[in-house]
Amino acid sequence: MGNRTALEALTQRPPGFLRSAWPWRCVAYLVGSVVPGAAVALGVLAVGLAGPPVGLLLVPPLSALVVPLIARFERVRLRLVDPVPLPPVPDRRRREIGVAVMTVFAMWWIDLVMLGFTVGGPVLLILSPVVQPEAGPVPGAVAGVAGVLLLPVAAYTITAWGGARGAMVRAVLAPAGSELGEVMRSRARLVDAFETERRRIERDLHDGAQQRLVALSMTLGLARLDVPDDSPTARLLDVAHDEARQALAELRELIRGVHSQVLTDRGLGAAIRDVAGRSPVPVDVDADELGRLPAPVEVTAYYVVSEALANVARHSGATRATVTARTAAGTLAVEVRDDGVGGADPARGTGLTGLADRLAVVAGRLSVSSPPGGPTLVRVEIPCAS
């Protein structure tokens, strides 16, 4: 169960593997090589019989006939060891020809030699009492037992070769990444869409709501000047003015969460010190000498620090936290530690998994170490060679 290919099946426990169909499928897969083998033998025979000038002229049309057939055959029999559907690729013809050439020149005879040694050997040993009765019953019995003991070994060898051969064929038919590419790109699309939305919200808040609040606050201030100090209206206006100021401060905070002006203007180091300074838990920051990094790297790292420090404040119960950020060998490494209760589990929230998705886009990595009882370490690495 759960083994999609012969190679994956090898990692199973031996009893399960030996009882599975995979060794047999691999034998069937490799036995199939008699087909290209026979085609090659017939071709060589035909060219040889026709003699030098005509024979050489026969090579191109024969190849044109045989190569596509072998290519189809390889594609179909691959399902025996690797039934995962092949992704569509634009240059499929060229790739199939590659597989056919590989089969014709090398693989078919390697397959048959492998079969001969791994399966033929034990089978001959088992049959030796029958084939060589003159050797006597005792050597015959010993050979038979040895042959039976070799069978499980043969199952492993043959599955390893069958699986590896299948992996080679798949690698030629479907280049690495042709399956993963779409997922990555759709994630990139998602984050792009999020980024656009984030900028729109920031602009709306900044140009709309914030300007209105500023105007409201000013109007209230002016109205207050027109009212005598000891009237009840003055007190109410003072309160309203105060509330407007507070709403403005909260809105500015919100805008900063959506978009950090410090980050854009002064870079990651300054932005980290800025978030750390606003954290209710005291934070030590070591982020000097970062310099400016590519914008996507800075923004992603900033989100990681903001989220990690928000988590420290919300979940950890820590008394102190530390943020370190360094670049070395073209990689930015940021670590956020706290001395809190630990037990952070990405599966229980959306923050950490959301960060992991963002990181995938910049080819970064997020790791979390948070044993129950603490401490918690969130580490992120982002390649930043531009």
**Are the C-beta atoms of residues 378 and 362 closer than 8 Å to each other?**
no
Nearer to ligand ADP among residue 213 and residue 366 (C-beta):
366
Should residue 345 be labelled a site residue for ligand ADP when binding is judged by CB under 6 A?
Answer: yes
Q: Which of 118, 159, 306, 316 binds ligand ADP (CB under 6 A)?
A: 316
Calpha distance 220→242 (Å, rounded): 10
- Residue 71 CA: distances (Å) to CA of 43, 58, 169: 16, 20, 10
**Min CB(352)–Mg ion separation in Å:** 7
> 350-368 burial, b for 16+ CB within 10 Å, e for fewer?
ebbeebbebbbbbebebeb
Should residue 351 be labelled a site residue for ligand ADP when binding is judged by CB under 6 A?
Answer: yes
Total residues binding ligand ADP (CB under 6 A): 18
Site for ligand ADP in 88-147 (CB under 6 A): none
Nearer to ligand ADP among residue 154 and residue 344 (C-beta):
344
DSSP letters of 311-334? Answer: HIIIII--S-EEEEEEEETTEEEE
DSSP code of 373? Answer: T
Q: Which residue has the tokens 């998602």?
A: 190
Q: Which of 27, 154, 312, 325 binds ligand ADP (CB under 6 A)?
A: 312
Should residue 350 be labelled a site residue for ligand ADP when binding is judged by CB under 6 A?
Answer: yes
Nearer to ligand ADP among residue 173 and residue 352 (C-beta):
352
Nearer to ligand ADP among residue 199 and residue 348 (C-beta):
348
Can you tell me whether residue 324 is helix, strand or coil?
Answer: strand
Tokens at 183, concatenated: 């997922």
Secondary structure tally for the chain: helices H, strands E:
16, 5
Q: Which stretch binds ligand ADP (CB under 6 A): 92-100, 129-137, 167-175, 345-353?
A: 345-353
**Are the C-beta atoms of residues 69 and 75 closer than 8 Å to each other?**
no
Q: Which stretch binds ligand ADP (CB under 6 A): 102-110, 216-224, 239-247, 310-318?
A: 310-318
Calpha distance 167→78 (Å, rounded): 9
Helices 92-102 & 137-173 angle (0-180, nearest 10): 150
**Min CB(322)–ligand ADP separation in Å:** 12
Calpha distance 375→196 (Å, rounded): 36
Nearer to Mg ion among residue 132 and residue 353 (C-beta):
353
| Number of residue whose CB is nearest ligand ADP | 349
**Min CB(282)–ligand ADP separation in Å:** 15
Should residue 352 be labelled a site residue for ligand ADP when binding is judged by CB under 6 A?
Answer: yes
Calpha distance 6→313 (Å, rounded): 49
**Min CB(274)–ligand ADP separation in Å:** 20
Nearer to ligand ADP among residue 296 and residue 343 (C-beta):
343
Should residue 338 be labelled a site residue for ligand ADP when binding is judged by CB under 6 A?
Answer: yes
Q: How many CA atoms, within 13 angstroms, populate the side-chain half-sphere of residue 378?
A: 28
Q: Which stretch binds ligand ADP (CB under 6 A): 119-127, 214-222, 296-304, 309-317?
A: 309-317
Should residue 375 be labelled a site residue for ligand ADP when binding is judged by CB under 6 A?
Answer: no
Can you tell me whether residue 280 is helix, strand or coil?
Answer: coil
Should residue 315 be labelled a site residue for ligand ADP when binding is judged by CB under 6 A?
Answer: yes
Should residue 342 be labelled a site residue for ligand ADP when binding is judged by CB under 6 A?
Answer: yes
**Min CB(339)–ligand ADP separation in Å:** 10
Compute how many other C-beta atoms are within 10 angstroms of the C-beta atom of residue 161: 20
Which residues make up the interface to ligand ADP (CB under 6 A)?
311-312, 315-316, 338, 340-346, 348-352, 376
